[in-house]
Structures are given as structure tokens and as C-alpha cells.
Amino acid sequence: MSARNRELLALIPASLLLTAGFAALFVQHSQELSNVSLTYGAAFLALCLAGHLVIRFTLPDADPYMFPLVAVLACFGLVIIYRIDEELAREQAQWFVVGLILFAATIVFLRDFRVLERYRYTVAVAGLFLLLLPRVPGIGQQVNGAYLGVGIGPISFQPAEFGKIAIVIFLAAYLRDTRQILIQGSRRVLGVTIPPLKHFGPLLVVWGGAMILLVFIRDLGSSLMFFGAFLALLYVATNRLSFVTIGLGMFAVGAWFFASTVGHVQNRIDTWRDPFDRALYDRPGGSYQIAQSLFAQADGGLFGVGFGQALITQPGGGAILPAPQTDLIYAVIVNELGLVGACGLLLVYLLFVERGFKTAMLARDSFSKLLAAGLTAVFALQVFVIVGGVTKVIPLTGVTLPFVSYGGSSIVANFVLLALLLLVSDRARREARA
Amino acid sequence: MNAPVLRLYVLVIVLFAILVGFTSRWTVFDADSLRDNELNRRALLQEQKIRRGAIRTQDGEALARSVPRPGDTWGRRYPTADLFAHAVGYSFTTIGRAGIERSHNDELTGQTDELTGVLDSLLGKDDRGDAVVTTLRTRAQEEAVAALEQSGHKGALVALDTKTGGVLAMASVPSYDPNTIDDPRRFAELNRDTENAPLVNRATQNGYPPGSTMKVVTAAAALDTGRYRPDSQVSGENGKPISGVPLNNFGSEDFGDVDLTFALTNSINTVWAEVGEKLGGRTMQRYMERFGFYAEPPLDYPDAQMSASGVRKKGELVPVTDPSVDVGRVAIGQGDLFATPLQMASVAQTIANGGVRLKPHFMSRVIDPDGRTVEEAEPEEAERVVSRETAAQLADMMRQVVREGTGTAAALEGVEVAGKTGTAELNLEGLNQPWFMGFAGDVAVAVTLERFQGGTGGIVAAPIARRVLQSLGQ
């Protein structure tokens, strides 16, 4: 069976999931909801089919499972968002259309994605610009103390979602050039391999960038995500664990320093360590969110309370669970579908990550390898940062759960990420076959 | 470069395993403590969305019903205010639950088993609980409360259906208005009032020295063991030594040689104390346990609001067989013996029912929101306490008490009342705990008044029992 036919077949589970999900909601709220909910489902399936056709005609050799896995995640997200707020689901569905258009555009205009290498510095500057945009007065938006959003008129978006792709492209291009020098120029000092001083500079720049993010954007999670992706790429490029260790050490020192000096970061860490402290719980922007996240999960238990049964808003108005459609969507999923449902979701992510790394391993040239590995790593880290935040593994931060959380920038950016992975995959698999 | 990619994947798997681990921690391992966390109000909020079923009397009067509150929530109203307060209890998110509201919470909130719950949610059923119809009767309760209040003393009364065990009336005075106590400050205020203790259900929670009403239990043991007959000759001499200490009859009256029926009719202390001593601690303990002493009453009521009757030393239950217990004085309802009105009503019910003690219960029927009866209470036997013959003999003796003995104030026209008075002396200056326990037709009743200066069971308690028996058509 050809890769594309396998992809088409693999879309069946996604369509079943979607139909079942909407049917459940429909049955449950038949008094309030109309057949519109089922129309949503049909329209969404048509979109998946359109995406499939784009791939079929442009990237016939690309990995057959990535798109269906994304479709499963997206369907899952859409149903959950629909259950939280009908209006948001409608918007999310619109963003899917935009995302798919950008997905198709990326594939069509970047047929030879390796041209990106040539624009690495342009891309890098664009990436940094995007990351720092939320601090520009007038358009920057502060949410929960972190600067992650930008609002221009009625449109608001999270530039970091696009920034992460730009940074990975730059790092992949930069490390492809310097990896040999980094490996060969290294010296061993006291049994520790350290990179040549000449190339230490750029690494310090990246580290500095992460620290700037921490201070300016004030978000531990996203700086962890970016710096983590950088270390992952550095490791893949050089196969030197010592570089990663040094990098992690530097990050830890920097994070500790800023955590103890920047009030907001300090607050985030306090609320993370002791979410049930009465004073922290009552403080605005305190531990209320993480505490409620944990309560919601406890409420879910092993099998969850059932679809549409979770308590999200207070009787008489007001939210119990703040930001259920974005930051805390994982808590809603655990609440309704339990540990079992959450494991299923994480498994889908893990399968996608597996396809991403597989693509990286199949790719022939260094840039493709680094690009695929980097994009996959940043994707996996994003999942870890938000789910880890919601489950109190690390301090909670405001990044989205890719393809599941509500959010236009997130959906669109992740579709671009998917397009890039499929581009690398198509080329790698074609070359591997030849 | 493939090896590091593979290792990176392994790292991602490890990271995701951590996520699964932490999710398990919150959903399974730490779930209980999170649910109990004082900051977690989810259960309370969930509760307010449920429309609790009504609680009704047997005759259909609403004792508790749900009223809509803003934001799709429900509150609770008690139309009869303080009349049924102790039996019905209350259910408020601010202070919790008590009484039938607590013991029948599952029915009232419509909590069913897992499978039907899933089906219901699939079928889009809203959160509505079932109604609980109780065995309580409005008229009897009104009479009981009015009579107790008119006595000017604190006290309690329990009336049971002798054939089913259903609670017909349960009154505890002073009472409180459950509609006002969802305000935690008001609740705390009532809790602090140890003088009147209005929240305490004196019918089930407080044990009082049962005095001479206990002689019915002693007589039951005496007859049922075959050691005595109603016409057995006993000595009613005053000042007989019991456990080495001389015991006096009421008013130090000396009766001489009498039979057992006469001894009950005239409530002769020295006879019954001697009978108790001769039967011995083991026999007394056995019969008391059969009557329900020394155990939580099997009533469908919260355990926290009931206490077991029996000999108590420093608050702890001590068996009659214990060397520290004065068996003779226990046999006449003194000697650190404490019994609840519910317990004594149960004794009367047992004799009236041919020697079979039934489980007392409040719940008569459970009716779902569609009007279907989903559960119906059947008379449930707790234990055969004495033989049918013993019960019949004892019933005759108790009728004699009301006919010409200490309990004449309980007599009714057209129906014979069987009963026993009690006047436990709390001090030597005439501070008494008056009692009356008895039955007529299908109704058993026990009533007591607290700390009544100069009050005797026959004069102050028997008329209250009479009023309640009368209101129940006896």
C-alpha cells in the first residue's frame, strides 16, 4: 500500500473519534444543542480530507502517520473546546482553515526547504523579534504576569509560537556549519570536553537569549522550551553530552539567579512549591490556578467523570477552573476522561514525536536531520512544559497544548511545523527509496 | 548523528513517563487528600446543582423541600420550621448535614449505582433526587412537641408503630429552626448554648437514668427465664440491703409480701432490685442486650446523633457483669444506668409486638421524580427478645399499672393502655427524671422530662404519653 493510502486509512480513527465525541455531546445536551454540532464534525472531516489531498499531490512520499496523528489531536481538541464553549469551537474551526491554508502554502512555496539555510540570520532576527514583540509598549499583552501575547486591534496572537520555529531553523542551519568545528576544535580540560572558545560566543548568545526571555517575557516555561530545544540540537549535532551538561548548568544558574531577583518568576516558583498555602492561594495571580488544576484532576480519577460532566464554571457564574480552553485544557481532559484518557492523549503525542525523530534519522543531510530533530524536540518540549506545568512537575506557564488548546497562533504555527516536518520526510523517504 | 536522535527520543519517553507519573499521582494516589483539601469546594458546588428530593410525613406534609436559587442551584427550605427539626435535620453547604437529610442523603440526591448513573447521564437526565416519605405523623408530632413545651421542661418523646417499627413521632425540646442555621454564625451560637443544647436530639443522643421504667426489662428477664411468674410471692419490705446498701421504696413505704404483678403496679423498688440481684448480672446483661441496650440503635439516622444505652462509668459503657456495677440498682433503672427515650420506646414496642423487637425506622417509601415508588420499607425483625407468653404476661401486668397503679394518668377511653412510670431521683431534694413508657393498640411511646423538681412519672410524663397516643387514634 502506498504511503498516501495508508495515511487515508489512518484518518479513519480520527473521524471515528470526532463522530463519537460530537455524538456524545449531542446526546447529552440534545435540549440545548442542535444538529449544528454534527455539521461541525462533517466540516472538520472535509478539512482533514483536503489536507490529505494537498499532501497526496505535493509530497507523495512523506510520512503517512504524522498527518493522521495531528488530525486525532485536533479532533480531540475541537471536541473538548466545543464542550467548554461552543463559540470558541467555531473560532477554533476557523483557525483550522487558516492553519491548513498556511500548511498548504508552506508546502507549495518551500518545496526546497533547504533555501531556509541561506536566510538563517534573517530568520534568526525575525524569531528574536517575534519573541520580544510582546514587550513592545502598546501592543504587548501581559497575561498572568507573563508577556506572551500581542494585540493589534481586534487580532491578538502569541508570537512565541512562530518564534520557536524560526529559532529552530536558525539553530539547525548554524549548527550544520559549525558542528565539525565544535567537535574537532574541542579540548579536554580536566576530563571535560569543552567547545573551542571561538565558538563559545554564539552559544553564550543563545544562553543570553534564553535569559533575556526569562527576564523580559518572564516565562520560565517558554525559556525552558527554547533552551531545551537548543541543547537537544547541540547534542544531536555534536553528540557531546558534556555540552548539554554545561548548558543545563548555565541555564540552572541563570534561572536560579533570575528566579530570586525577578518578582514574577519568584512568585511562580513559590506557587508551584506550595499551591495550597492560604496566602498564596488567595493572592491575585497566585496558586489558585494550579490548585484548581490539581483538584480537577483528583475529581477525574482513573476513568474520569465522563464527557461533559466536569465542573468548569461555578453555579451562578465565574470560573472554577481558569483558562480551561488554553493553559488548563489538560486538566479538563483528565477531569472528564481520567488518567486513562490522559495516557491515551500523551501516547498520541509520543507517536507523533516518534515519527518526527524517525524522519530525522532517515534524512540524509545534516540540515534536514537537525531541522527535523529540532522541530520534533521543541514540539515534545512544549507538551512537556504545559502538561508538566498543569501536573505540577514544573511551575505552570502559559504555553498551549499543541493542536489541542484553543488558540489561533498555536494552531497555525503548529501546522507550519507539521508542513516542515512533512517536507523533510518526503525528501528523506524519497532519497531512502532511490 | 542518528544515535543522539535515538537517545533524545528515549529522553522524551522518560519525560512523558514523568508526566504520566504525576498525572497518576493527582488522579489516583493523592486524589483522596486533594478531595478533602479545605480549599477544594468542587463537591460542595456539585452538590448545590442537585435538586434534592423532598422529605414528607406519612400524611404527605412536606418537611423539607428544594427551592431554586440563582445560577441553576438549589437551596433547602423546612416548611415546618422547628417542629420536625431533630428528626429531619438539615442539609446546607455551609454547615453540612444532619438527621434524615444525612442518613438518607443517597436517596435524596438520587445517587444510584455506577451503571445506571452512566445511562442516566447518556440519556441527559438532570440532577434530581428521590423524595423520602417518612413514617412520621404531623398530628402526633404537634401534640408531642406541644405537650413537652407545656411541661415547661426540656424533654423528649418517641412514638413507634409496634407492628412495623416505624417512628411515628420524635420530639426533642427545646428545638431550633433549621431555616436559620445555614448562617454559620447562628449555627455556632446554637452549638455554644450548652444550657439548652437545642441542636442535641434528646430522644436518641442523650441517655437518662430510666428509673422504674427499667423494671419492665427486669420483669421480662424474670418471667422469660422461668424463675418467676406474675403471681410469684416476693417481699416488698422497705430498706432491704441491695449490694450491701439499704434500698428504700418510694416514700419509704413497706409493702410486706406481695406478688410480682402487684410489685410492678406499685413500682416496689425493693422487689425488683432483689429480683435483679437474684437473676444476676449475666442474665440482666443478656436480656438488656436483646432489648437493644449496649448497641447503637438500628435506626436509619446518623450514628453521630445516637448513643447506645447501658451502664456508663465516666462516659464509657460498662457491662452489668462488671464487679463495679450494682445489679440490683440497675434493675430499677438507677446505678449509673442511662437509657435514651428511643431505647425505652423500643422496649415498649417489643412487649406490644409479642416479644419481637423490630428495627425502628424513619423511611417508609422512596419515590423517584417520576412518581414511582422505588423502595418501600418492610417491618424488619431485630431480635426475638422474650417468648410470646412472657410478652403477653408482661403486657397484662403493664395494663394493670395504668388501670390502678402509678400510671393511671395515661389511661384512655375505649382502649386499654399498658405502661410503666419512672421517676429517677437525681438528688435527695426531689430533683427527678420523670418517665412514662407504654403502648396502646399499635403505638408504643416513651417520654421523659429533664430535671423536674418534684415531678413524678405518673403525674407529669404519663399525661404527655396519653395525648400522643390519643392523637394517633388510640
- Using a CB-CB cut-off of 8 Å, the residues of chain B touching A27 are 122-124
The more confident residue out of A59 and A285 is A59
What's the maximum distance between 2 C-alpha atoms anywhere in chain B?
114
Which of A235, A349, A350 is closest, CB to CB, to B8? A235
- B interface mutation test: which of A243, A280, A297 has the most B CBs within 10 A? A297
- C-alpha A177: how far from chain center: 27
Instruction: Reply yes or no on whether the pLDDT at B444 is more than 60.
Output: yes
Q: Tell me the three cell numbers of residue B288.
A: 438488656
pLDDT band at A318 (very low <50, low <70, confident <90, very high): low
Instruction: Reply yes or no on whether the pLDDT at A305 is more than 90.
Output: no
Question: Helix or strand or coil: residue A249?
Answer: helix
Of A112-126, A279-293, A301-315, B292-306, where does the model show the most confidence?
B292-306
CB contact (8 A) between residue B9 and residue A354: yes
Instruction: Reply yes or no on whether the pLDDT at A20 is more than 80.
Output: no
CB contact (8 A) between residue B4 and residue A388: no
Using only the alpha carbons of chain A, give its radius of gyration: 22
Of A325, A311, A318, A420, nearest to A92 by C-alpha is A325
The cell 401486668 sits on which residue? B397
* Percent of chain A surpassing pLDDT 90: 23
Q: Tell me the three cell numbers of residue A380.
A: 515534545
Instruction: Reply yes or no on whether the pLDDT at A150 is more than 50.
Output: yes
Q: Tell me the three cell numbers of residue B70.
A: 440563582
Of A110-124, A220-234, B396-410, where does the model show the most confidence?
B396-410
Instruction: Reply yes or no on whether the pLDDT at B115 is more than 60.
Output: no
* ipTM confidence score: 0.91
Instruction: Reply yes or no on whether the pLDDT at A1 is more than 80.
Output: no
Report the 3 state secondary structure along chain B.
CHHHHHHHHHHHHHHHHHHHHHHHHHHHHCHHHHHHCCCCCHHHHHHHCCECCCEECCCCCEEEEEEEECCCEEEEECCCCCCCHHHHCEEECCCEEEHHHHHCHHHHCCCCCHHHHHHHHHCCCCCECCEEEECCCHHHHHHHHHHHHHCCCCEEEEEEECCCCEEEEEEEECCCCHHHCCCHHHHHHHHHCCCCCCCCCCCCCCCECCHHHHHHHHHHHHHHCCCCCCCCEEECCCCEEECCEEECCHHHCCCCEEEHHHHHHCCCHHHHHHHHHHHHHHHHHHHHHHHCCCCCCCCCCCHHHCCCCEEEECCEECCCCCCCCCHHHHHCCCCCEEECHHHHHHHHHHHHCCCEEECCECEEEEECCCCCEEEECCCCEEEECCCHHHHHHHHHHHHHHHHHCCCHHHCCCCCCCEEEEEEEECCCCCEEEEEEEEEECCEEEEEEECCEECCCHHHHHHHHHHHHHHHCCC
Tell me the count of A-B CB pairs closer than 8 A: 145
- Using a CB-CB cut-off of 8 Å, the residues of chain B touching A33 are none
CB contact (8 A) between residue A342 and residue B20: yes
Which of A291-300, A418-427, B356-365, B434-443 shows the lowest per-residue confidence on average (mean pLDDT)?
A: A291-300
- Using a CB-CB cut-off of 8 Å, the residues of chain B touching A296 are 42
B21 Cα to chain A: minimum distance (Å): 9
Give the per-residue pLDDT at B335. 92
Q: What integer is the mean pLDDT of B256-270? A: 93
Tell me how far apart the alpha carbons of residues A130 and A162 are, in angstroms, rounded to a whole number. 7
Instruction: Reply yes or no on whether the pLDDT at B121 is more than 60.
Output: no
Tell me how far apart the alpha carbons of residues A325 and A320 are, in angstroms, rounded to a whole number. 13
Tell me how far apart the alpha carbons of residues B361 and B297 are, in angstroms, rounded to a whole number. 10
Nearest CA in chain B to A347: B16
Q: Which of B103, B151, B212, B471 is catalytic?
A: B212
Q: What integer is the mean pLDDT of B21-32? A: 90
Which of B2, B7, B28 is closest, CB to CB, to A301? B28
A187 Cα to chain B: minimum distance (Å): 20
Cβ-based neighbours of B395, under 8 Å, separated by 6 or more: B351, B352, B418
The pLDDT mean for chain B works out to 91
- Using a CB-CB cut-off of 8 Å, the residues of chain A touching B2 are 361
Q: What is the pLDDT of residues A156-196, one digit of tens each?
A: 778 888 888 988 898 898 888 888 777 776 666 666 666 66
Tell me how far apart the alpha carbons of residues A157 and A152 are, in angstroms, rounded to a whole number. 9
* Percent of chain B surpassing pLDDT 70: 96
- Angle value at C-alpha B139, between B135 and B140, nearest 5 degrees: 65
Which of B34, B48, B69 is closest, CB to CB, to A294? B34
Instruction: Reply yes or no on whether the pLDDT at A11 is more than 90.
Output: no
Q: Residue A411 phi/psi, 5° resolution?
A: -60, -50
Nearest CA in chain A to B47: A315
Give the per-residue pLDDT at A69. 92
pLDDT band at B61 (very low <50, low <70, confident <90, very high): very high
Tell me how far apart the alpha carbons of residues B150 and B171 are, in angstroms, rounded to a whole number. 13
The more confident residue out of A223 and B471 is B471
- Using a CB-CB cut-off of 8 Å, the residues of chain B touching A366 are 1
Which of B4, B37, B41 is closest, CB to CB, to A239? B4
pLDDT band at B74 (very low <50, low <70, confident <90, very high): confident
Which of A295, A346, A391 is closest, CB to CB, to B42? A295
Which of A28-42, A119-133, B249-263, B278-292 shows the lowest per-residue confidence on average (mean pLDDT)?
A: A28-42
The more confident residue out of A305 and B137 is B137
pTM exceeding 0.90: no
Q: What integer is the mean pLDDT of B130-149? A: 96
CB contact (8 A) between residue A295 and residue B37: yes
Nearest CA in chain A to B122: A28
Instruction: Reply yes or no on whether the pLDDT at A252 is more than 90.
Output: no
Question: Are residues A332 and A312 in contact, defined by beta-carbon separation less than 8 angstroms?
Answer: yes
Q: Tell me the three cell numbers of residue B246.
A: 439499704
Cβ-based neighbours of A310, under 8 Å, separated by 6 or more: A296, A299, A300, A321, A332, A335, A336
- Using a CB-CB cut-off of 8 Å, the residues of chain B touching A299 are 35, 42
Instruction: Reply yes or no on whether the pLDDT at B468 is more than 90.
Output: yes
CB contact (8 A) between residue B34 and residue A295: yes
- Using a CB-CB cut-off of 8 Å, the residues of chain A touching B29 are none
Instruction: Reply yes or no on whether the pLDDT at B159 is more than 80.
Output: yes
- A interface mutation test: which of B13, B15, B41, B116 has the most A CBs within 10 A? B15
Which of A77-91, A150-164, A271-285, B273-287 shows the lowest per-residue confidence on average (mean pLDDT)?
A: A150-164
CB contact (8 A) between residue B27 and residue A384: no
Spell B266-282 as b/e; 16+ CB within 10 A means b.
bbbbbbbbbbbbebebe
Q: Tell me the three cell numbers of residue B211.
A: 428509673
CB contact (8 A) between residue B13 and residue A350: yes
Give the per-residue pLDDT at A317. 60
CB contact (8 A) between residue A369 and residue B49: no
Q: Tell me the three cell numbers of residue B244.
A: 450491701
Note if B212 is an active site residue. Answer: yes
Long-range contacts of A148-151 (CB under 8 A, 24+ apart): A148/A217, A148/A219, A148/A222, A148/A398, A148/A399
Question: Helix or strand or coil: residue A309?
Answer: coil
* Percent of chain B surpassing pLDDT 90: 72
- Using a CB-CB cut-off of 8 Å, the residues of chain A touching B42 are 295-296, 299, 311, 320
**Burial class of residue B93 (count of CB atoms within 10 Å of its CB; 0-12, 13-18, 19+):** middle
B132, β-bridge pairs:
B55, B366
* Percent of chain A surpassing pLDDT 70: 87
pLDDT band at A358 (very low <50, low <70, confident <90, very high): very high
Q: What integer is the mean pLDDT of B281-292? A: 96
Give the per-residue pLDDT at B437. 96
The more confident residue out of A297 and A179 is A297
Which of A198-202, B218-222, B262-266 shows the lowest per-residue confidence on average (mean pLDDT)?
A: A198-202
pLDDT band at A254 (very low <50, low <70, confident <90, very high): confident
Q: What integer is the mean pLDDT of B294-323? A: 95
Give the per-residue pLDDT at B124. 47
Cis peptide bond N-terminal to B463, omega within 30: no
Tell me how far apart the alpha carbons of residues B321 and A185 are, in angstroms, rounded to a whole number. 95
CB contact (8 A) between residue B26 and residue A298: yes
Q: What is the pLDDT of residues B180-217, one digit of tens each?
A: 998 888 988 998 998 999 999 999 999 999 999 999 99
A112 Cα to chain B: minimum distance (Å): 22
Q: What integer is the mean pLDDT of A370-382? A: 95
Instruction: Reply yes or no on whether the pLDDT at B172 is more than 50.
Output: yes
Tell me how far apart the alpha carbons of residues A323 and A253 are, in angstroms, rounded to a whole number. 31
Tell me how far apart the alpha carbons of residues B162 and B472 are, in angstroms, rounded to a whole number. 13
- Using a CB-CB cut-off of 8 Å, the residues of chain A touching B20 are 342-343, 346
Question: Are residues B258 and B230 in contact, defined by beta-carbon separation less than 8 angstroms?
Answer: no
Tell me how far apart the alpha carbons of residues A306 and B118 are, in angstroms, rounded to a whole number. 8
* Alpha helices per DSSP H over A213-328: 220-238, 241-261, 263-273, 278-282, 288-300
Neighbours of A247 (CB within 10 A): 20
Instruction: Reply yes or no on whether the pLDDT at A85 is more than 50.
Output: yes
Tell me how far apart the alpha carbons of residues A368 and A237 are, in angstroms, rounded to a whole number. 12
Give the per-residue pLDDT at B114. 47
Give the per-residue pLDDT at B305. 94
Q: What integer is the mean pLDDT of A55-80? A: 89
Instruction: Reply yes or no on whether the pLDDT at B329 is more than 90.
Output: yes
The more confident residue out of A292 and A350 is A350
CB contact (8 A) between residue B27 and residue A297: yes
Which of A213-217, B78-82, B321-325, B331-335 shows the lowest per-residue confidence on average (mean pLDDT)?
A: A213-217
CB contact (8 A) between residue B46 and residue A343: no
Question: Helix or strand or coil: residue A320?
Answer: coil
Q: What is the DSSP string of A339-386?
A: HHHHHHHHHHHHHHHHHHHHHHHH--SHHHHHHHHHHHHHHHHHHHHH
